[in-house]
Amino acid sequence: MAPAPHDRPDPGPVFDALADATRRTVLRSVAARDSATATELASEVTVSRQAVVKHLQVLAEAGLVTADRRGREQRYRITAGPLHDAVDWITEVGAEWDDRLARLQRRVGERPRF
């Protein structure tokens, strides 16, 4: 049985984090590896390492990445759970709209046409 909508995590922070194209690129780069440093990720985008660190902080606050310190480095890994929660929310809302549109279509089909 699926949890009630109010029991699910709020997908807002995930959507906020993914609203930025650079953060989406950074997240894709992290997901493509086992782990990555901010320096490694900065070599793949057109922003500075410091900007990448800020983007990673936003992604971490949304629960999309975690950081592990290894010596002087922080290595980032993707955390898929919040993405799955956001997809579940989208699927649920989409199903509700599908139901509403189907009811509307039935009602419109029931009306006599002049």
The packing angle between helices 21-31 and 49-61, to 10°, is 80
The answer to whether position 4 is within a domain reads: no
114 has pLDDT over 70: no
In a domain, 67, yes or no: yes
Asked if 50 contacts 35 with a C-beta cutoff of 8 angstroms, the reply is no
Stretch 7-31: mean pLDDT: 93
Q: Output the pLDDT for position 37.
A: 96
pLDDT digits (tens, 9 = 90+) for 51-74: 999 999 999 999 999 999 989 999
- Cβ(31)–Cβ(82) under 8 Å? no
Cα first-last separation, the chain? 46
pLDDT band at 93 (very low <50, low <70, confident <90, very high): confident
Task: Read off φ and ψ for residue 69, nearest 5 degrees.
Answer: -85, 130
Going by pLDDT thresholds of 50, 70 and 90, the confidence category of residue 1 is very low
Question: Is there a contact between 65 and 76 (Cβ–Cβ < 8 Å)?
Answer: yes
Does 1 map to a domain? no
Instruction: Check which CATH number belongs to the domain holding 41 and give it.
Output: 1.10.10.10
Q: Does residue 3 fall inside a structural domain?
A: no
| Number of structural domains in the chain | 1
Share of the chain above pLDDT 70, in %: 90
CA 51 to CA 92: how far, in whole Å?
Answer: 35
- Say whether pLDDT at 105 is over 90: no
